[in-house]
Chains A and B, each alone.
Chain A
Amino acid sequence: MSADKFSNPVVRWIDHRLPIFSFMDHELNEYPTPKNLNYFWNFGSLAGVSLVIMIVTGIVLAMSYTPHVDYAFQSVERIMRDVNHGWLLRYIHMNGASFFFIVVFIHIFRGLYYGSYKAPRELLWILGVLILLLMMATAFMGYVLPWGQMSFWGATVITNLFSAIPFVGDSIVTFLWGGFSVDNPTLNRFFALHYLMPFLIVGVVILHLVALHRFGSNNPIGIDPSGPQDTVPFHPYYTIKDFFGLSVFLTLFAAAIFFFPNFMGHPDNYIPANPMQTPAHIVPEWYFLPFYAILRAVPDKLGGVLAMFGAIAVLFILPWLDRSPIRSGNFRPVFKIFFWVFFADCIALGYLGGMPAEGIYVVLSRVATAWYFLHFLVILPLLSVIETPKPLPQSLSKSVLGGSAMAGAASAVKEKV
């Protein structure tokens, strides 16, 4: 490593002893990145920014929040009315959770379409699914903290899921509650864990990035870059693109915070928790609705719980279900159709999860749930055998710039740069 890469002598002195600047230069500056990434590749950095926003606003909220059943609701109202800028901080945190999930869901569907979970990125994908699980646990516990009606009944229903486990179920639920119902001990520990888990997420995100930088990003056509002519340095090309994406994201985020801060929330959560009265229609936060629909679709208690967790578990083994060597959906005509059907199926599950569990909704939920599992367990394995993919381009440059004559031109341009 050439020390004179940095002109500042202080930086050079430090870097010689602790190569942190070399590391950053290697991973964020010269890091070779496929040159054909589209905007779907912005969502990883957006997820990272969202995580930072959640941690920063969360820590300052914790300075005014009281995790006690008698004070929690009031302390949140006090944040909203009396604490300086408290309303802003809470609205950022509240809507931040929703935006975080929007970003991560798009990030995941990007991976599903472009086959980013395939070799050699299986562990990268698995770490991502782990992050999703941790995020869900964190958001669930965060939603309990304001101690409104939805907080309380959401906590009750979700913790009760574990009672479906044979033999030890009830002991596990008592253990989670620290009592005989969701009560003060539950609120206290949820606060402690809600504070802890985002930092665990940071840890897994770091592993996720280490795994990513091992082979670099996948790209819209899913073939590996064949040499330097197919890549560009991360800085300034993708730093500037990520910043552009970030400014669009922050604009939408700010619009939600300032104009529709409660659009994605539920009004019942502004009613203090009442353990003696369940609201007539309880629904989880919107980002849990597809999973909630799967839970309710199965008429058996244990079966429903297994199906719901199975919906995530199946993502872990996805790299071994889809055996097709072609990564990108662009070159898989049949897969492409089923991908969009699956996407529609997930949206449908989200809609159905918010509807009452009766009549036609039950039937539709069952169909949509069956399709969800059918897609992963039957359609994908089958397609990897029977589908005839379209011919792949010979290199990234060719796919970007067209005919083979252009490929030479592309590398020439690259050399000039």
Chain B
Amino acid sequence: MAKTNTSKQEDTHVDGRRRDFIVVASYAMAGIGAAAVAWPLIDQMNPAADTLALASIEVDISKIDIGQSITVKWRGKPVFIRHRTEDEINTAQSVELSQLKDPQLDVDRVSNPKYLVMIGVCTHLGCVPLGQKTGEIKGEYDGWFCPCHGSHYDSSGRIRKGPAPVNLEIPPYTFETESLIKIG
């Protein structure tokens, strides 16, 4: 009697563990299945193939006079191209790295110091800073000023004052010729 009892108990015990395993395994499979179904539903929100394929653009910069800027559209965003004055280049180059919130040398931000090419989107929350057109506020560092929450950028597009965490972004670009740049 006692013997059968024990073996019965052992049986249930073994059965119980087997069942635990089956239960855990089926929950795991169901979980993986649910995740596999959810993924396309979520990932469809990421950029579509045609959005990703947005072509690069070419810009003729020969028409930009010294001290003038133009704004072109690339990937739905404004890109600032500024033909800088001697003065602006000198100030930008003479700034000590220790004075900068996001330390970067001016030479690391341009391929030709005369032309500053950068994405005209404030790194704080995405507004387009002022300072492209003559007469617009250029901020305390004679570069760009974002009116949304008051970020000041210098003549190299580096953040000097305000809530923006980093410098204005530099897009990938190359000089095709002296006066033609390809962005993207």
Where the two chains meet, the residues of A that have a C-beta atom closer than 8 Å to any C-beta of B are: 153, 156-161, 163, 174-181, 183, 185, 189, 275-278, 280-282, 296, 299-301, 304, 356-358
Option from A157, A174, A356 in Cβ contact (under 8 Å) with B46: A174
Query: Within 8 Å CB of B128, what residues of A?
Result: 276-278
- Check A300–B163 contact: CB distance below 8 A: yes
Beta-carbon contact of A175 and B163 below 8 Å? no
- Find chain B residues with CB under 8 A from A177 CB: 47
Bound-state CA distance A189–B46 (Å) is 11
Do B148 and A178 touch across chains, with their CB atoms under 8 A apart? no
Cβ-based interface call for B24 (8 A): no
Q: Provided the pairs A157-B127, A180-B77 are in contact, do residues A304 and B48 lie with their beta carbons within 8 angstroms?
A: no
Known: A156-B125, A181-B76. 5 other contacts (CB 8 A): A156-B126, A157-B127, A163-B125, A180-B77, A185-B47
**Contact across chains for B147 and A281 when beta carbons are under 8 A apart:** yes
* Residues of chain A lying within 8 A (CB to CB) of residue B54: 180
Asked whether B78 lies within 8 Å of A275 as measured between CB atoms, the reply is yes
Among B130, B148, B163, contact of A282 (Cβ-Cβ < 8 Å): B148
Establish whether residues A178 and B46, one from each chain, have CB atoms under 8 Å apart when the complex forms: yes
* Residue among A175, A278, A304 with max Cβ neighbours from chain B (10 Å): A278
Residue pair B150, A358 in contact (C-beta under 8 Å): yes
B164 on the interface (CB 8 Å rule)? yes
When the two chains form their complex, are residues A180 and B76 in contact, meaning their CB atoms are under 8 A apart? yes
Q: Which of A174, A175, A276 contacts B73 (CB 8 A)?
A: A276
Residues B65-102 near A (CB distance < 8 A): 71, 73, 75-78
Closest residue of B by beta carbon distance from A158: B125
Q: Which of A174, A301, A356 contacts B165 (CB 8 A)?
A: A301
B: interface residue count bin: 20 to 34
Cα separation A279 to B9 with both chains bound (whole Å): 78
The answer to whether B37 has its CB under 8 Å from any CB of chain A is no
Do B47 and A174 touch (CB < 8 A)?
yes
For the complex of A and B, 9 pairs with smallest distance between CB atoms = A181-B76, A160-B126, A160-B125, A278-B127, A157-B125, A180-B75, A156-B126, A278-B128, A179-B51
Contact B125 A185 (CB under 8 A): no
| B150:A181 contact, CB within 8 angstroms | no
Interface status of B124 (Cβ within 8 A of chain A): yes
Complex formed: what's the CA distance from A356 to B150 in Å? 9
Tell me whether B127 and A181 are in contact (CB under 8 A).
no
Bound complex: CA A282 to CA B128 (Å):
11
CB distance from A249 to the nearest CB of B (A): 35
| Interfacial chain B residues near A160, Cβ < 8 Å | 124-126
Complex partner residue of A181 from B71, B75, B164, CB under 8 angstroms: B75
Question: Does A157 contact B126, Cβ atoms closer than 8 Å?
Answer: yes
Kindly list chain A residues whose C-beta atoms are within 8 Å of the C-beta of B130: 280
Question: A91 → chain B, closest Cβ, in Å?
Answer: 29
Residue of B nearest to A305 (CB): B125
Distance in angstroms between the alpha carbons of A177 and B130 in the assembled complex = 24
A151 to chain B, nearest CB (A): 14
Q: Is the CB of B148 within 8 A of A180?
A: no
- Shortest CB distance B83–A (Å): 19
Q: Could you tell me the distance between the alpha carbons of A281 and B127 in the complex, rounded to whole angstroms?
A: 11
Query: A272–B66 Cα gap in the complex (Å)?
Result: 33
Distance between B142 CB and nearest chain A CB, rounded to angstroms: 18
Asked whether A156 lies within 8 Å of B127 as measured between CB atoms, the reply is yes
A241 to B51, CA, bound (A): 56
Shortest C-beta distance, A401 to chain B (Å), equals 56
List of A residues within 8 angstroms of B47 by Cβ: 174, 177-180, 185
A160-B126, A278-B147, A301-B124 known; A181+B48 contact, CB < 8 A: no
Tell which of B54, B73, B75, B149 has the most Cβ of chain A within 10 Å: B149
Tell me the bound Cα distance from A356 to B146 in angstroms.
12
Kindly identify, within residues 31 to 79 of chain B, every residue whose CB is under 8 Å from any CB belonging to chain A: 45-48, 51, 54, 71, 73, 75-78
Which of A153, A180, A300: most chain B CB closer than 10 A? A180
Contact B45 A178 (CB under 8 A): yes
A and B contact pairs by CB, cutoff 8 A, 26 listed: A153-B127, A156-B126, A161-B125, A163-B126, A174-B47, A176-B45, A178-B45, A180-B51, A180-B77, A181-B76, A181-B77, A183-B76, A185-B47, A185-B48, A189-B45, A276-B73, A278-B127, A278-B146, A278-B148, A282-B127, A282-B148, A300-B165, A301-B164, A304-B163, A356-B150, A357-B150
Report Cα–Cα, A277/B146, bound state, in Å: 11
Q: In the complex, what's the smallest C-beta–C-beta distance from A363 to chain B, in angstroms? A: 13
* Selected contact of B76 from candidates A179, A277, A300, CB within 8 Å: A179
Closest to B164 in A: A301
Nearest-neighbour CB distance to chain B for A276, whole angstroms, equals 5
